Amino acid sequence: MSENRKKISQKISPSQKKTLHPRNRHQGHYDFGLLIKACPELASFVSENPYQELTIDFSNPDAVKALNGALLSHFYGISNWKIPSNYLCPPVPGRADYLHYVADLLSACNEGVIPRGDLVRVLDIGVGANCIYPVIGYCEYGWHFVGSDVDSVALGSAQQIVQSNQKLINSIDFRLQKQSSSIFNDLLRAEEVFDVSICNPPFHASLAASKEGTLRKWKNLGRGSPQKKGKSQDPLLNFGGQPTELSYPGGEAAFVRRMVEESLSISKKIFWFTTLISKEATLPSVYRALSKAKAIECRTIEMAQGQKKSRLVAWTFLSSKQQREWRTQRWASASL
């Protein structure tokens, strides 16, 4: 195995823990008493389970939205977090985990200090209607975000969330990717650079596969099939998600390979390219794409939230010398 291949295969598993990142605010069970104070509308969705513990029906999209709104309000001071019907409603704790590991990634290249403040620029590929990564990333680290999406309705929703929260204004910008099949192509402006890009790629290869996955979620939640419950609602709607959020021809493997290919054209404009990978089976094809692209360094960071396991893959085309120059020029004042 070549030295380059060794770097591409490198895995990092911080403390080998199967739990949330140590800095994640969402450790342990939800304190529904505090969350209801932050978001009173959550109360109508909270009930006792057979173990006499307070919980919500996680198959109910309105309940999940209310829980997310309460978490954002209580932990991050975000109000008026609203997303359109049938758009993806992400779990806040898992999204926060991604950002904390990205902060660790930057820290590892900055003598152990996390760069903070609006001098640090983050590109969110597929920001979505929920705007969740920019919201949490700004609140935790003060980073400046640019969120891109192929869906103008999603961008409008994300922009409304920012405009409805004074603390977010001037910290998050949005950009429409006009080419639906592209990721980075024609997205960045001249002389524009980012310290890191993040992405939660579409998981499924088709909408049919997405529907099958949703039915499995229903069964795992003990809900059976929506049709068996006498509901006519498409089960996709119970978990939310537009076609561009849920599927991509070839699934996440094809999407990330395309991302790697396009990253070559902007190889010196972004320090770290990163993406979530849901399926471990996707990794070999991603490593091959990175090897073909001649990435200088790649890191795979294992993550876990309860029973759900995922991983973050990061790569850079910057040499050691270029990384030091980047740190000196951009992060010196952001690390104080």
- The full DSSP string for 147-187 is EEES-HHHHHHHHHHHHT-GGGTTTEEEEE---TT-SSTTT
Of 16, 47, 77, the domain-final residue = 77
pLDDT of residue 119: 95
What count of other Cβ atoms lies within 10 Å of the Cβ of residue 202?
22
Domain that holds residue 128: 3-26+90-202+248-335
Based on the fold, state whether residues 182 and 254 are members of the same structural domain.
yes
Based on the fold, state whether residues 190 and 45 are members of the same structural domain.
no
Based on the fold, state whether residues 188 and 108 are members of the same structural domain.
yes
User: Comparing C-alpha atoms, which of 102, 31, 101 is closest to residue 70?
Assistant: 31
pLDDT averaged over consecutive 10-residue blocks of the chain (336 residues)? 47 54 94 96 95 91 94 96 90 96 97 95 97 98 97 96 96 95 94 97 56 48 48 46 63 94 98 95 96 97 84 97 95 73
pLDDT of residue 242: 55
Based on the fold, state whether residues 162 and 70 are members of the same structural domain.
no
